[in-house]
Amino acid sequence: MIEAWPAADVRAAEEPLLAAGVPLMERAAFALAAVVRRDLARRRAVPGPDGGLVEGSVRGARVALLVGAGNNGGDALHAGAFLARRGLAVTAYLADERVHDGGLAALRGAGGRVVVVDAGAGAAPSAVATEVAGGAGGAGGASAAGAGGTAGAGADVVLDGLVGIGARGPLRGTGAAVVAALLEALPEPGDPARPWVVAVDVPSGVGVDDGTVPGPVLPADRTVTFGAAKPGLLLPPATHLTGAGAVIDLGLELAGTGAQAAASARRPAVVRLEDTDVARAWPVPGPADHKYTRGVVGVVAGTATYPGAAVLASSAAVRAGAGMVRYQGPDAVGQAVVAARPEVVTAGGRVQAWVLGPGFPAEGDDDGQRDRARAALAAASGLLPGAGAPVPAVVDAGALALLDHRCPGWVVLTPHAGELAALLRSRGDDVDRAAVEAHPLRWARRAHELTGATVLLKGGATVVVGPGPTAYAQADAPGWLATAGAGDVLAGLLGTMLAARSAEVVAHPERAAEIAAAAALVHGRAAERANPGGPVAALDVAGALPGTVAALLALR
């Protein structure tokens, strides 16, 4: 898993090392330079003797450093010095009158070129952007000093060292002007003429701790982050601007060590699960298991208007490995479900997790589905005397409007941004879909606080907030998964995952968030598996679940 820690925790963990004289910046910059060289070499790969590709030479490659006033700029300058010594042509564009002294001296000593941007007689941001992007004109001339750089050719790689964890608010000043000009001047993403952009620690201008994008940000192809990942690198919308990741180990003790770790119980602010995490936690049946120990999923979904949602949710529950699926709803819809999946039963009985809400109409006749879902939700929440032990529930789509009591954490809401905004508005918050999309963590957390439930907020990246201290942020789904019915499949899949660990989740409701995040990962992997690189239909995603789970389990 990738664990992300807030800026303040990273700083606190750096302190003892810096006090002991550990050269953190040099370490960070050396590792950054190594990643840049490797990325460039791969981009310049050439056919090898055995027909494969071998890494190309990086000598002479043009490197542009965007340098801000703080240590983030210092990292970029030191990395630039390492690269200049290895024969790359490095130009530093200084966005502040004062930059890191040691870094600047190192770069000059290594023969790097230095351009002061927009300070008095310095180069204008637009001229810098033209030079970096490879247009006519450029920022050479009076302000340039040192060797290297070819006016007109453009940079091969850009290191964004304008601000790091010291950033406050949207990118401002000269750095913001340079980024705005580059966003105009650079070739489109995917164009081979576009330079490879490496963000130093974080893409400058993203909300380091909250993942917001309050102003201009240069999207990165790679983010090299130091000590630990930062929450903003995992959280949407900023996570879509980070490119590939690389976490450089600086030896920070973020969770404390030994007894200290146990005593402080410090947890990362945000976690992203990886395949091996999901594989490890997946319940694999043994010889003593039967359908009730595997978990029975109760599905209250679909109406005469939207029968397909019932088929999709039930199919996903079956194909994810439920011990049994019980369908509750109108007879005609039940017949359609059984026709699609003869494993499903329509008789009542014991249930270990509920899936409620897919395919309810916004208003009008619901064939009694809302009443069924209300009763199931009350039973799941432990509010129905005589209904047996409480069990987890997935509350999706049309059932989100039924939450009229405070929920336990083992109830998992699965809204998209529009549904979350509606839920929050119904509780008095003035928020719309755009506001939720601009700050998903904040509003998912707010919904958890208001309802008590675990909240899985769907989107291009998925955010999960529950009763525990750690939020989850998954970005596993191809864009193709944004298709009708995909949410019904997620609900069914999550129902099966919760049913398999029903008693455990009720006893430890903070575990619901990790299971929900795991469901988001499996959902995304199944979409990719259903049709790699191309469009997917929701039922095909459900169909890909058995193979996806098997492939994950092969990693154990």
Ligand X SMILES: NC(=O)C1=CN([C@@H]2O[C@H](COP(=O)(O)OP(=O)(O)OC[C@H]3O[C@@H](n4cnc5c(N)ncnc54)[C@H](O)[C@@H]3O)[C@@H](O)[C@H]2O)[C@@H](O)CC1
| Residue whose C-beta lies closest to K ion | 204
Minimum Å distance from CB 181 to ligand X?
15
75 labeled part of a ligand binding site: yes
Give the pairing type, strands 89-94 and 46-47: unpaired
Write the DSSP string, 158-212.
Answer: EEEES-STT--SS--HHHHHHHHHHHHHSPPTT-TTSPEEEEESS-TTS-TTT--
The answer to whether 242 contacts K ion (rule: CB under 5 A) is no
Site for ligand X in 291-350 (CB under 6 A): none
Which residue do the tokens 């492939």 mark? 551
CA–CA dist 175, 173 (Å, integer): 6
- Shorter beta-carbon distance to ligand X: residue 78 or 523: 78
Nearer to K ion, 9 or 160 (CB): 160
The side-by-side arrangement of strands in the sheet containing 62-67 is 113-116, 89-94, 62-67, 157-161, 196-200, 222-226, 244-248
Q: How far is the CB of 255 from ligand X (least distance, A)?
A: 19
Beta strands in 367-451 (DSSP E): 393-395, 411-413
Distance CA 446, CA 424 (A): 8
List the beta bridge partners of residue 114: 92, 145
Residue 214 vs 285, nearer CB to ligand X = 214
Q: Which does 18 bind (CB under 5 to 8 A by kind): ligand X, K ion, none?
A: ligand X
The rounded radius of gyration (Å) of the Cα atoms in the chain is: 26
What φ, ψ does residue 68 adopt, rounded to 5°?
A: -95, -175
Partner from K ion, ligand X, none binding residue 171, C-beta < 5-8 Å depending on class: ligand X
Task: State which residue, 29 or 499, has the beta carbon closest to ligand X.
Answer: 29
- Told to check if 223 binds K ion by CB under 5 A, we report no
For residue 70, state whether it binds ligand X (rule: CB under 6 A): yes
Strands 2-4 and 270-272: antiparallel
CA distance linking residue 447 with residue 364, whole number of Å: 26
68 is a site residue for ligand X (CB under 6 A):
yes
Nearest distance from residue 371's CB to ligand X, in Å? 53
Of residues 61 and 69, the one with the C-beta less far from ligand X: 69
Q: Which of residues 1-60 bind ligand X (CB under 6 A)?
A: 14, 18, 24-25, 28
Q: Looking at beta carbons only, is 130 or 174 nearer to ligand X?
A: 174
**Is residue 71 near ligand X by the rule CB under 6 A?**
yes
Contacts of 436 (CB under 8 A, 6+ apart): 417, 418, 420, 421, 424, 443, 457
Residues within the annotated binding site for K(+)? 72, 160, 204
Residues within the annotated binding site for AMP? 458-462, 487
Which residues would be at the binding site for K ion (CB under 5 A)?
72, 160, 164, 200, 204
Which residues would be at the binding site for ligand X (CB under 6 A)?
14, 18, 24-25, 28, 68-73, 75, 163-173, 175, 200-201, 226
Residues within the annotated binding site? 71-75, 160, 164-170, 201, 204, 309, 359, 416, 458-462, 487-488
Residues within the annotated binding site for (6S)-NADPHX? 71-75, 164-170, 201, 309, 359, 416, 488
